[in-house]
A = this chain, B = another copy of it.
Amino acid sequence: MKILVTGFEPFHKEIINPSSMILTKLPSTIKKHEIICCTLPVELSCLNMIKDHINKIEPDVVLSLGQAAGRSAISVERIGINLDDFSIEDNKGNKIEDTKIMIDGPDAYFSNLPVKKMVEFIRNKGIPVYVSNSAGTYICNHILYGVRHILKQKGKQQKSGFIHVPMLPEQAIHHSNMPSMSLEMMVEGVIAAIEAIISEEESV
């Protein structure tokens, strides 16, 4: 299998983003499956960029990663919704409100990755993790919904989903009472999630 893993550039006053730092620590293969990494900009054009990657690479799985300030654990997202409603500007200075991502798209798409199995594999490593029912209405949800829509249109049964990670300790020191997680643990968690995906695919 080919597994495309994406992260994001820093945004909203932060100078680093754990989701792209994780990418630099992933191995090039996991259980002999190819891992291809790609960092996306925090703006609407991220969807066109990932679409180009998908068309060029034709990955079997797209796993996107993003930063969720304030969360204490890794969270595996269950669903993306057809809505952009930013509470902060994106990196291009846009603050889009109450706008559909895909004008003719359905209201939402469930991730078709094995969400509960990913949580189980991550927790078995001793890493705090839970299932999240909302990826928000910012760029993270935009990618989660948008990639599901793109893959649905392609009709090749490709899988996709999203994982949020907490802030890094070096980010948390600049905020009051902000939970964090070490980069090493995040990397271990993402690898465990990918192993869950592989295990699911191989068991089918």
Contact = CB atoms under 8 A, between A and B. Distances in A.
A126 interface: yes
A128 B177 CA distance: 8
Interface in A160-204: 169-170, 172-173, 176-182, 184-185
A118 to B, nearest CB: 13
A38 interface: no
A106 interface: yes
A136 interface: yes
B81 A108 contact: yes
A143 interface: no
A123 interface: yes
A31 B91 CA distance: 45
A142 interface: no
A8 to B, nearest CB: 19
A133 interface: yes
Interface string A116-139: 100000010011111101101100
Q: Which of A108, A123, A176, A178 has the most CB of B within 10 A?
A: A108
A11 interface: no
Contact of A128 (B107, B116, B130, B172): B172
B110 A173 contact: no
A182 B179 contact: no
Nearest to A133: B134
A178 B72 contact: yes
Q: Which of A79, A129, A179 has the most CB of B within 10 A?
A: A179
Interface string A75-115: 00011011101000000000000100000001111100000
